[in-house]
Amino acid sequence: MNKQTQARYDAKATVIKAMAHPTRLLIIEELSKQEHCVCELTDMIGADTSTVSKHLALLKNAGIVSDEKRGQMVFYTLKMPCVLKFLSCLETTLIENAREQLALVG
């Protein structure tokens, strides 16, 4: 395979990998409604602050969210709204898949 083509697949995979975690999906969906500081997200998620911070750093690195420091707090915003369409398509597909499974069973 072409080197440039490979690089493009790698770049896309990096972004998708950043989405590929339940906690980070929750973050994305919450940020799609409104911006949040790390502390709010930490409350919602119920994990250690450092864990949440690392998830956010990963999302930021992938270009999915952006951050802004205001006072002591850091607010995160969703930067890539098109991921939402995908997530809703995913939801639909999951429901369909479940229906199929059910049909197989009886």
Partner DNA sequence: TGGCTCATTGGTAATATAACCAAATTACCA
Partner DNA sequence: TGGTAATTTGGTTATATTACCAATGAGCCA
Note the residues at the interface with its own copies (CB under 8 A).
1, 6, 8-13, 15-17, 19-23, 25-26, 44-46, 63, 80, 82-83, 85-87, 89-94, 97
The answer to whether residue 58 forms part of the interface with DNA (CB under 7 A) is yes
Count Cβ atoms below 10 Å from residue 35 Cβ, excluding itself.
Answer: 15
Contacted entry of its own copies, DNA, none for residue 106, CB cut-off 5 to 8 Å set by kind: none
Contacted entry of its own copies, DNA, none for residue 67, CB cut-off 5 to 8 Å set by kind: DNA
How many residues does this entry show for the chain? 106
Count Cβ atoms below 10 Å from residue 43 Cβ, excluding itself.
Answer: 12
What is the Cα–Cα distance from 26 to 8, expressed in whole angstroms? 27
